[in-house]
Each structure stands twice: as C-alpha cells, then as structure tokens.
Chain A
C-alpha cells in the first residue's frame, strides 16, 4: 500500500511538472519537459556516457571509501582500546571531524594536483572520521563479559579482536559506514564538480556548460537513484538485519 501511495505521489509530481512546462512560463533551458529529461536519460545510457560517468565515480568512491573503512576501523580499534591513543589520536579525530570535508579541497589540490587522487583523497577524508568515531564507540560498548568469556576460552591478542571485539562492535561500525558513505558520496560529487575529470559530477558541469538543463536534471536523477539504492536498499537493510541478529532491535 505504501508503495502505491508513493507511485501515485510521484506520478502527480511529474504531472504537475509537465503542466508547468505546458504553461510555458519559463523557457525550455530553465524548465525542460519531463519527456525531454527522460529522453536525455535514455540517450545517456544508450550512448554509454552516463554509464562511463557512473563507472568512473564508482571506481573513485570504491577506492576512497574502501581505504577509509580499513583505516577507520583500525584507528577506531586503537582509540577505543588503547588509553594513550585515545588521549592523543582521539582528540585529533574529534577535532578534525568538525571540519567540513570540502575544506580539504585546497590541501588535496596542492598535494595531488588536479587529478583522480585529489578526488579520492576527498572521498577518503569524508568517510574515514565517521567510521573511526563509530568504531571507537562500538569498541567501548563491547560488553566486558564477552571479552572475559572469550579469554577463558583461549582468545588472545589479534584473535580477540577479530573473533570478539570487531563482531561485537559491528552494529556501531555499520552505522558509521552508512554515515561515512553519505559523506563520501557528497564529497565525491563536490570533488568532481570542482576538479575536472569525468565522473557524474563532471557530467553535471558539462550540462551547465552546454546550457542543457535536461542533462543537468537527468544526471541529478541518476545521482539521487544511486544514493537511494545504496543508502535505503543496502545500508538500511544491512543495519536492520545486524541489529536484529545482535538482539538490539526491539521488534
């Protein structure tokens, strides 16, 4: 039923859009018709420009986000388990967290130049701190009982981390990863808009340069859809399942 409501709502929205277009208050380059946008979308996928754009953006976020997961979890474990790291690294991380990711752009450009690496760095910086902080809070909320039980069964050193501490903090880590993804996705787009070099953000800029509003809107729709797929269909599902399994969900 809720799906039906949504379909009706969006159908009405598109209808309203078409109606506004038909009224002809704004010129075509300000408000294109939904039909044109749809055609642009189809053309974009047909001549593969959108597909290339998506592939390039995805490659960047995969590298940057992947690296941020690995280092974020590692740093989170260090900060959460080792006192001296908490007092030093922990303060640094929570300080840096207040800095909007886009503020890393100038530094990134100076370090890496106008290329892929600069964008990947932005993506990385966008996600790593949230994942670090979430992992830290996860590690700190591992029930001491689990650790004691594991120790009496012979868990020591890195095995204790891999068999108990990381799995036990997984609900926190996944929440951090979800938030990290959102930041990474935003910084990716910002980076691609500001730094030349293909990708979805670049397609958006091309649309602007060509004064092609239908391309701008079409690319925006692609970006939204990818966001929905990853956030709603992937992360929220996974998070829910994990919370249920860990006995944290009440339902």
Chain B
C-alpha cells in the first residue's frame, strides 16, 4: 500500500471516520479567533457589478485549521484578502483576536500562491524581514530566523539567494517567514498549488507537524479537496456566483495525515460529490452565457481538481 511506503500513514479504523455536515457552528464560551460577519463584496467591471461574496458568516476557533474550498472564481482569494485587510468588504465586519479588522496587521500573516520572497535579500534576511520591521535587534532576529529556518529544514540555505531555490524551498522559506512573525493567524492562499505532487506531499507533512507544534490558527485556501482533507479540522465549501457558504465538513482523522491514505481518499470522494454539483452549476451557468472563450478557460481551470481526486483512489 502507498501509505506504508511513505511511512507516515497510520492504520486507521474506518469506524473512526465521521463526516459531519453542520450548517452553523458556534462553540460557546471560547472567543473565536476570527469572526466573519455578514461580509459581502462585489466588483465593478465593464459588464457591470459582479457579486463575488454574499453574506459570509464564519467563525474560526483558536488553534483550528480551516480549509476553504470552492470552484475557481467563487471568491476564495477575495475572502482571504478581506480577512487579511488587503481588501475592503462592501458590507460586514471582520473581527480578529477580539478587535475589528481595519487594514493589514501583523497578527494575520498571509502566505501567497507564489512565495513572494524578496530577491534582494538572502534567505535568512527574508525570514528576518518582518522581525526587523518590528524593531527586533539584529542578533536576536537572526537567532529567531534561524530557528524557523530549521523548522522548515532549510538551515543549510540560510545564505543562499532566492533565485537559487526551488519552488518548494521558496514556499518553505515563505512559511518560515510567516511563522517568524509569530502571528495569531496564518492565512494561506493555495500555497502549494504550483508545486509538484511529491513536494506538496512533503509540505503537507511539514505543515501538519508545524501546526501541531505551534497550534496556530490557520485559514487555508485550496481547490484541491484531497489537500483540504489532509490538512483541515474543518472544510468550508463555498458555492459560486455569488460565493456563499454552502456547507461545512469536519474531518476527524488522526494526524499527521497522508495525502494517499485510504480514509483521506474516502473523505475526499464524499466532499467531491458536494462540490461536483457546484461545478456543474458553474459550467452550466457559463454555457448559458455567450462568452464561450471565458467558459473554456473556467472549465479548464477546473480540470486539475477533478483529476486530482479521481487518481489514487
């Protein structure tokens, strides 16, 4: 079996697998780390107003790992940017750590799809970037940076230049850079989607270990269901045009999980069924419109997600 060869799979009892689907969660007593309240967002384009997000309500608890999935263009990135404070919602409020979000803040660090490392700085200086802005002294911040580089197994590359790193290494540096800020929350926007399967597999494993070690609250966006099941405590499924929360799933599998684990695969298929109806909706709605070129693009961007799920089961 694949799980044995990769060495991190746990033999799991299928009885443990519980897929719950609840409409609303609110754990009383604990203040949520993040509260998204009635957030709506539209964009003005040439063709008029497009409603991207509509009345999004979501609470994320401290230490929770939440994945947001949904068809391409449903507004996942927009939602994350709003939470990060990089974009403003039309309506609604975001509360993070008990205070209202009003612009970007160091308590919510974003990891983007491309690593966004600064090429003029060496690897370790990149990790130090935010610490320097915080006003931490040079010796202390070097120590901290090295500690986080060690966590992503890149100590050896501390003096390397960014252009000398591979895509996966860059993304690991970006993770170290974000962790070094010691933020309350990590916001990750498809951070591994540009990587090959093996690298992604390694990073899933590393990220889970880091998460278990640091207990950070993580909001993770992906279009890959398998990835979401592998990583998340809870998966939020967004519907499209306009983006709404369609349903949510709780994943209760022991960690660290493996992409290729049977249970992960089984979970994925179930969630995929839900998502498929969404995708069909997207395809249908775009077939109806005249803009066939756009429809082609959207349909093709959807392909990888489908094949990803199909393979390996």
Binding site for B on A (CB under 8 A): 143, 145-146, 148-155, 159, 163-164, 167-168, 170, 244-247
Distance of A240 from chain B, by nearest CB (Å): 14
Contact of B108 (CB < 8 Å), options: A152, A170, A245: A152
Are A149 and B112 in contact, CB atoms less than 8 angstroms apart? yes
* Chain B 115-131 interface 0/1 with A at a Cβ cutoff of 8 Å (1 = within): 01011110000000110
- For B120, B132, B133, which residue has the most chain A Cβ atoms within 10 angstroms? B120
Q: Is B163 an interface residue when CB atoms closer than 8 A count as contact?
A: yes
- Given A149-B110, A152-B110, A170-B120, does the pair A163, B84 have CB atoms closer than 8 Å? no
Are A163 and B163 in contact, CB atoms less than 8 angstroms apart? no
- Given A152-B106, A170-B120, A245-B163, does the pair A163, B129 have CB atoms closer than 8 Å? yes
List, in ascending order, chain A residues with CB within 8 A of B119's CB: 245-247
- Given A152-B84, A152-B104, A152-B106, does the pair A146, B181 have CB atoms closer than 8 Å? no
List, in ascending order, chain B residues with CB within 8 A of A155's CB: 133
Docked Cα-Cα span, A25 to B181, in Å, equals: 78
Identity of the chain A residue whose Cβ is nearest the Cβ of B120 in the assembled complex: A167
Q: Is B86 an interface residue when CB atoms closer than 8 A count as contact?
A: yes
Distance of B78 from chain A, by nearest CB (Å): 13
Are A153 and B120 in contact, CB atoms less than 8 angstroms apart? no
Given contacts A145-B112, A167-B120, A167-B121, 18 further A-B contacts (CB under 8 A): A146-B116, A146-B118, A148-B86, A149-B116, A152-B86, A152-B105, A152-B108, A152-B109, A154-B105, A154-B106, A154-B133, A163-B129, A163-B132, A167-B118, A170-B120, A245-B119, A246-B120, A247-B163
Nearest 9 A/B pairs, CB to CB: A153-B130, A247-B163, A149-B116, A154-B106, A151-B104, A167-B120, A152-B110, A154-B133, A246-B119
A-B contact pairs, 12 of them (CB 8 A): A145-B112, A145-B114, A146-B116, A148-B86, A150-B129, A152-B108, A152-B109, A153-B106, A154-B133, A167-B120, A170-B120, A246-B119
List, in ascending order, chain B residues with CB within 8 A of A159's CB: 133
Q: Is B162 an interface residue when CB atoms closer than 8 A count as contact?
A: yes
Docked Cα-Cα span, A205 to B112, in Å, equals: 62
Q: Is B161 an interface residue when CB atoms closer than 8 A count as contact?
A: yes
Binding site for A on B (CB under 8 A): 84-86, 104-106, 108-110, 112, 114, 116, 118-121, 129-130, 132-134, 161-163, 177, 181, 187
Are A168 and B112 in contact, CB atoms less than 8 angstroms apart? no
Distance of B121 from chain A, by nearest CB (Å): 8
Docked Cα-Cα span, A145 to B113, in Å, equals: 10
Docked Cα-Cα span, A154 to B85, in Å, equals: 12
Docked Cα-Cα span, A13 to B254, in Å, equals: 81
List, in ascending order, chain B residues with CB within 8 A of A170's CB: 120
List, in ascending order, chain B residues with CB within 8 A of A244's CB: 163
- Given A155-B133, A245-B163, does the pair A164, B118 have CB atoms closer than 8 Å? yes
Contact of A148 (CB < 8 Å), options: B112, B118, B177: B112
List, in ascending order, chain B residues with CB within 8 A of A145's CB: 112, 114, 116
Identity of the chain A residue whose Cβ is nearest the Cβ of B129 in the assembled complex: A153
Docked Cα-Cα span, A30 to B100, in Å, equals: 82
Docked Cα-Cα span, A228 to B110, in Å, equals: 47
List, in ascending order, chain B residues with CB within 8 A of A146's CB: 116, 118
Identity of the chain A residue whose Cβ is nearest the Cβ of B177 in the assembled complex: A153
Docked Cα-Cα span, A163 to B130, in Å, equals: 10
List, in ascending order, chain B residues with CB within 8 A of A152's CB: 84-86, 104-106, 108-110, 187
Are B163 and A151 in contact, CB atoms less than 8 angstroms apart? no
List, in ascending order, chain A residues with CB within 8 A of B110's CB: 148-149, 152
List, in ascending order, chain A residues with CB within 8 A of B177's CB: 153
Are B116 and A163 in contact, CB atoms less than 8 angstroms apart? no
Docked Cα-Cα span, A151 to B187, in Å, equals: 14
Distance of B93 from chain A, by nearest CB (Å): 19
List, in ascending order, chain B residues with CB within 8 A of A168's CB: 118, 120
Distance of B194 from chain A, by nearest CB (Å): 13
List, in ascending order, chain A residues with CB within 8 A of B129's CB: 150, 153, 163
Distance of A203 from chain B, by nearest CB (Å): 41
List, in ascending order, chain B residues with CB within 8 A of A245's CB: 119-120, 161, 163
Identity of the chain A residue whose Cβ is nearest the Cβ of B81 in the assembled complex: A148
Identity of the chain B residue whose Cβ is nearest the Cβ of A143 in the assembled complex: B116
Docked Cα-Cα span, A153 to B180, in Å, equals: 10
